[in-house]
Structure 1
Amino acid sequence: MKKLVLTGAAGRLGSYLREPLSKMCDTFVSTDITDGPKTLFENETYVKADLADLDAMVDLLNGADMVVHFGAVGDEAPFETLLGPNFVGAYNIWEAAYRNKLRRVVYASSIHAVGMHKKTDFIGIDAPHRPDTFYGLAKCFAEDLASMYWDKRGLESVCMRILSCAQVSNPRAVGTWLSYDDLIQLVQRSIDTPITGFSVVYGVSNNDRAPVDNSKAQHLGYRPKDNAEQFASEIYAQNEPLDPHDPANTHHGGPFSSIPLGESGVAHLNLNPDDTAKND
């Protein structure tokens, strides 16, 4: 590709993607609302920009082949907090991509778009939306936006419903883990697959206890290699037996399924402090 754009580049997941994505294009543009990283890769340019500013997004995507859209507030919050970056920002990315004649949007969606489904249902990529939060609702909005822009305007999209892309630190993650290496592979396959149309795929590693079915996304060529079963015995021994009546344990959204709307779900995930952005 001549030009590839990554939004949310200063975030935890975006920071892991900068180097591998920079190797897939001649010109790599990373962007976020905060100040940029201290050092840039040889073909990288950083642009500080607000997703809620349509004109800024149109300028940002000028001349690009594809955009990898990871920019957003990455947690549940009041609707008013999410409206600009997560809802309006998604519209601005797809509209700017359409105006600039991009081929594809690769989008960091989330399991929270279907978070109120039960884990025992082993849902596929065609499961109907059942958001668990305003955050999940924003993911549903963006997925429907992606579907509509494909149907009406011919703009391809891959919506990656990421489960738990962090170190395995709780019982839920034994099934939902997405390793950083598998994340990179997932994004790369979403970019280099020749034809995607509108596609949905779950971002999860090759876990023995994965609670979702990716069989209808085989055309993307995503074949995860890591398996969280290696952590199962230790994680289960460190935690008390789970309450089978708590939605946080029985539904795909985990704690996002049980928290009040507008309150942080990330605060209940027990993330490892080592899961930080790589922006030095």
Structure 2
Amino acid sequence: MKKLVLTGAAGRLGSYLREPLSRLCDELVSTDLAEDLGKLYPGESYVKADLQDLDAMVALLEGADMVVHFGAVCDEAPFETLLGPNFIGAYNIWEAAHRNGLRRVVYASSIHAVGMHKKTDFIGIDAPHRPDTFYGLAKCFAEDLASLYWDKRGLESVCMRILSCAQVSNPRAVGSWLSYDDLIHMVERAIDTPITGFSVVYGVSNNDRAPVDNSKAQHLGYRPKDNAEQFAKEIYAEAGPLDPQDPGNTHHGGPFAAVELGNSGVALLNLKEEGNAKS
């Protein structure tokens, strides 16, 4: 592949993807709002650009084969805060990809697009949208945008509904964990699968207690290897009994399903500080 573009390259997940993506193409253009990324990998360049600027996105995607879109505000926030980067930014990426004749958008969607479904329902990739927050609503918008651009303009998309890509630090993550190795594997399959059309896949590892069903995404060849069960005994003992009436314990969105609209969900996840890996 000649050229890939990675948005959100300064973020926690984007930083993990830079090196493996640089090995898949002659030229990797990483972009974010940070002033720089520090050390660049062979074939990688950095362009500071705002997702809300359509002209900047059109220029950024010129000559690219695909764009891997991880740029966004990555938490629940007031709608006005998310409107620019998460809603308009998504439109700008798909529109810029279309104008430049890209083949595919690989998109970091989220379980929060379906976060109000109950975990006991074991939902598949065809579950109807049930966002848990404005953040989840933005993911629904981008997924529908991806579907529209495939149906009307022939632009392929793979929407990866990531569950929990961080260290296992809470009971929910025993089922929802996506390891960094499995994240990289999923993105690679989203890029190298010959034909995807409009596809959805859940970003979750091979956990014994995974609450979602990827059986209708087999064509992508995503076969996760890691399993969070190794952490279960310690995590459950540490957490103690969970309230079965708390939507944060019973719904796919976890704390995002319980917070008031506009309030942070990440603040309730008990995430461990890891820094920006490989940045």
TM-score tier by shorter-chain length is: over 0.9
- Aligned counterparts of 1:92 and 1:19: Cα–Cα separation in 2: 25
Asked if 2 retains the 8 angstrom alpha-carbon contact of 1:38 and 1:279, the reply is no
Could you list the per-position Cα deviations for residues 192-226 of structure 1 after superposition, in whole angstroms to 9, with x for gaps in the alignment? 00000000000000000000000000000000000
Kept in 2: contact 1:4–1:64 (CA 8 A): yes
- For 2:205, the equivalent position in structure 1 comes to 205
In structure 2, the residue matched to 1:62 is 62
Superposed CA RMSD: 0.6
> Does the residue aligned with 2:231 lie in a helix, a strand or coil?
helix
Q: Partners in 1 of 2:74 and 2:38 — Cα distance?
A: 23
TM-score normalised to structure 2 length? 0.99
| Residue aligning to 1:30 | 30
Letter in 2 for 1:137: L
Q: Which letter does structure 1 place at the counterpart of 2:277?
A: K
SS at match of 2:29: strand
Instruction: Report how many residues are paired.
Output: 279
Q: What pairs up with 1:36-47 in 2 under 5 angstroms? A: 36-47=36-47
1:239 maps to amino acid: A
Deviation string 1:61-96 (CA, Å, 9 cap, x unpaired) is: 000000000000000000000000000000000000
Cross-structure match for 1:278: 277
Q: Which runs of 5+ in 1 are unaligned?
A: none
2:108 and 2:252 mapped to 1: Cα distance?
17
Counterpart of 1:156? 156
- In the alignment, structure 2 segments of 5+ residues that lack a partner are none
Shift of 1:141: 0.1
Letter in 1 for 2:152: K
2 CA distance for matches of 1:279 and 1:156? Answer: 29
Match of 1:91 in 2: 91
Q: How far apart are 1:22 and its partner, in Å?
A: 0.3
1 CA distance for matches of 2:177 and 2:78?
27
Check conservation: 1:37, 1:279, Cα contact below 8 A: no
Question: Which amino acid in structure 2 is aligned with residue 31 of structure 1?
Answer: T
What's the counterpart of residue 116 of structure 1?
A: 116
TM-score by length of 1: 0.99
1:170-192 alpha-carbon deviations (Å, 9 max, x no partner):
00000000000000000000000
**2:75: which partner in 1?**
75
> Where do 1:1-280 residues align within 5 Å?
1-274=1-274, 276-278=275-277, 280=279
Q: Quick one: which amino acid aligns to residue 147 of structure 1? A: S
2:36 & 2:146 partners in 1: Cα distance? Answer: 28
- Runs of 4+ deviating beyond 4 Å: none
Separation of aligned partners in 2, 1:216 and 1:241: 34
Where 1:4 maps in the other structure, the secondary structure is strand
> Structure 1 residue 264: deviation in Å?
0.3
Aligned partner of residue 45 in structure 2, secondary structure = strand
Over the matched positions of the two proteins, sequence identity in percent amounts to: 83
Shift in Å, 1:279: 5.4
